[in-house]
Amino acid sequence: MVNPANGRSDAAPTDPFLAEPSGERSTQAHPFLDAVGFFRAWIRDPLRVAAITPSGKALARLITAGINERTGAVIELGPGTGAFTRALLARGVRPEDLVLVEAGADFAEALRLRFPGARTLCMDAARLRTHAPFGERPVGAVVSGLPVLSMPPRQVLSILKGSFGRMAPGGAFHQFTYGPCCPVRPEILERLGLRAQRTGRTLANVPPAAVYRIMRKDAPASILEGRHALETAPLPGRPQ
């Protein structure tokens, strides 16, 4: 209902992916409604969304392995309906340490309602080159749900450049892919002085996916060698 005094709607904001027929607000995750909303978003913009369904819990556990409350500031790119966001919070990342960067306005609106303690920025992840969501504070990890394989190399270069421009020396960029190898081209890694390691693969996702951890080549050796621990780290309090 529109308020004639100010021309605005009086209705509570509604999560676009969880809209009840009654118009009631809901902030709870609902896998079926999320899947339907996600599929609709893919139909509207298949190149940007690049998946027909949200990631499953196994992939969310894998891509967030090794990230916890001690990681400090975390940026998530392309959170969609928040599959990885939930896992990050479950691992102990404080909402105030989390910034969500999402290009889709409908996803961003839902994320603001679902994760009010985190900051959601509706923008292209490539804007991290000029926009520092945490100011001077270095970021401990970037978790990316971006469809890197369907992006032009120049855009991927910009996103990695922006991300590593904000990253602490030992920080890592965590990227998933449905493909057989690292979705970031070797020449882009080389140009930025980065290296990629596959940290794991899960068949329990539709489609099956792998996760790569991208770090500076000169990152401290102890961090580069911590790969196995990251692969197997369970989510606290969750059955594996």
Ligand X SMILES: C[S@@+](CC[C@H](N)C(=O)[O-])C[C@H]1O[C@@H](n2cnc3c(N)ncnc32)[C@H](O)[C@@H]1O
Give the binding site for ligand X (CB under 6 A): 48-51, 54-55, 77-80, 83-84, 101-104, 107, 124-125, 145-147
Alpha-helical runs (H) found in the chain: 31-44, 46-49, 57-64, 83-90, 105-114, 153-166, 186-192, 221-224, 227-232
* Nearer to ligand X (CB atom), residue 97 or residue 102: 102
From the CB of 222, what's the least distance to ligand X, in Å? 29
* Nearer to ligand X (CB atom), residue 9 or residue 150: 150
From the CB of 111, what's the least distance to ligand X, in Å? 9
* Nearer to ligand X (CB atom), residue 147 or residue 183: 147
Query: Which of the 8 DSSP states describes residue 138?
Result: P
From the CB of 86, what's the least distance to ligand X, in Å? 10
* Nearer to ligand X (CB atom), residue 48 or residue 94: 48
* Nearer to ligand X (CB atom), residue 49 or residue 172: 49
Bridge partner residues of 99 (DSSP) = 75, 119
From the CB of 147, what's the least distance to ligand X, in Å? 5
From the CB of 10, what's the least distance to ligand X, in Å? 29
CA distances from 189 to 41, 157, 179, 215 (A): 31, 9, 17, 9
Contacting residues for 26 by C-beta, under 8 A, at least 6 apart: 14, 15, 18, 20
